[in-house]
Amino acid sequence: MDQEAVLAKLQELSIEHETHRHGAVMTCEAQVAALSGVDGICTKNLFLKDKKGRLYIVTAAADTKVDLKVLSARLGTGKGGVRMAPDELITSVLQVPLGSVTPLAACQPGAAGVPLLLDAKLQGQPRIFVHPLDNTATCVLSPAGLEAYLRAAGREPLWVDLEADPVIDRDNPPDLKAIADAAVPLAAEGGDAGAAPAAAPAAPKPAAPAPKKAAPGKAAGSKKGAAAAAAPPAASQRPDDVLRLTDELVATMASTLLGEAAGGVDPDMLRRLRADVATELNALRNAAYASGFSAAKAAAAGYLSRQYA
C-alpha cells in the first residue's frame, strides 16, 4: 500500500480523519511546526529489533519516555535487548521511506509478524497525528479511528503503558513477553532485507592431504594472526557510523563530566545513555538523508527545466 491507498481505505471505512500535506518531516518538532494551528497530539514512532531478529513498532506520545532497557526486560528479550532496527528494514519490511514509521505500517504485508505497541497515554486523546506511510503528510484521527483501521486489516490494537517499570523476577515474569513470543523473526519469514538467509549445506569435499608439519615459529605466527583476525574491531573501525559516534560521544561525555571517576560509572546508566545518543544520531542522519534528497530533486528539476524549456 502507499499513501493514496491508505487515504482511500480510511474513506472506504468511513473513518473520520483530516489529511494535511507538508514537506518531509524527520522529527516530532518539525511535524508540530508544519502543523501549526492544527489540534492534536504528535506521536513518535520507533522501529525496533531484538537479537532474535524480531521486529517491533512502538507508537507513543511525543512526551512519553520510552526506556529501551525497561521495554526489553518487559518483553523478555534476554541479553542484548531491543535497539533501533537498521534503516534498510524500514524500507523493505514496512515499505515506507526513512522517517515515515507509523502505526499504519503495521498493516503492510511485510509487517504481518511485527507487533505494534500503542502508548496507552494516547487512548484518551481526541485527536492524534500519524503519517499515512509517508512523512510528507499527516493524518489526524481519533484513537478509535486508528483501532478501526487496524482491525479492518486483521490487526488487534495493543495498548501498553510504555512508562511502566514493573518488578521482573522469578515471581513476576515479563508482562509483555507474550507479545515478543508472538513476533515472527526475520529468519523465519525469509526474504526480508537485512535477514541472514539460511545457509545451504555445503557439498562434501574430498579429503585433503595431510598438511606438512610447520616449524614452531611459523605455527606461533599463524595462531597470532588467527587471533588478530577473530578480535572484534575497535570502536574507531566499526562500519556503522552511528554506533562508532555513539561510543565516542559517550566516552567523551563521561570523561569530561566525571574525570577520573568515569571508570566507576554504573554500566546500566551508560547503556541508557548510549541508547539515547544513538536515537538522536539516527534522527540527525535521517534528516540529512532527507535534506540531500530534496536538494538533489530541486537541482534535477532546475536542470531539466533549463534543458527542455
- CA-CA distance, 134 to 138, in Å (whole number)? 8
Q: What are phi and psi of 46, to 5 degrees?
A: -110, 140
Place of cell 508540530: 32
What is the predicted pLDDT for the residue at 199? 35
Q: Given this model, what pLDDT does residue 79 score?
A: 84
Which cell numbers hold the place of 29?
518538532
pLDDT at 36: 96
Model pTM greater than 0.85?
no
Residue 105 C-alpha cell reads as 505500517
pLDDT value of position 263: 65
C-alpha cell at 236: 574507531
- The C-alpha atoms of residue 154 and residue 286 are separated, in whole angstroms, by 31
Q: Grid coordinates standing for 160?
A: 501498553
Show the cell assigned to 171: 515471581
Nearest Cα to 17, choosing from 132, 121, 119, 116?
Answer: 132
Q: Which pLDDT score is estimated for 287?
A: 61
Spatial contact of 140 and 152, defined as CB atoms under 8 Å apart:
no
Contacts of 40 (CB under 8 A, 6+ apart): 125, 127, 128, 129, 140
Nearest in space to 111 (alpha carbons), one of 86, 130, 127, 93: 93
The three cell numbers of residue 73 are 526486560
Residue 275: per-residue pLDDT: 65
Q: In what order do the strands lie in the sheet with 159-160?
A: 82-84, 43-50, 55-61, 116-119, 159-160
pLDDT in tens, the chain (309 residues): 899 999 999 999 999 999 999 999 999 999 999 999 999 999 999 999 999 999 999 999 999 999 999 999 999 998 889 999 999 999 999 999 999 999 999 999 999 999 999 999 999 999 999 999 999 999 999 999 999 999 999 999 999 999 999 999 999 999 999 999 999 998 644 444 444 333 333 334 444 444 444 444 444 444 444 444 444 444 444 445 556 676 777 778 777 777 666 666 666 666 667 666 766 666 666 566 556 656 666 666 666 666 555
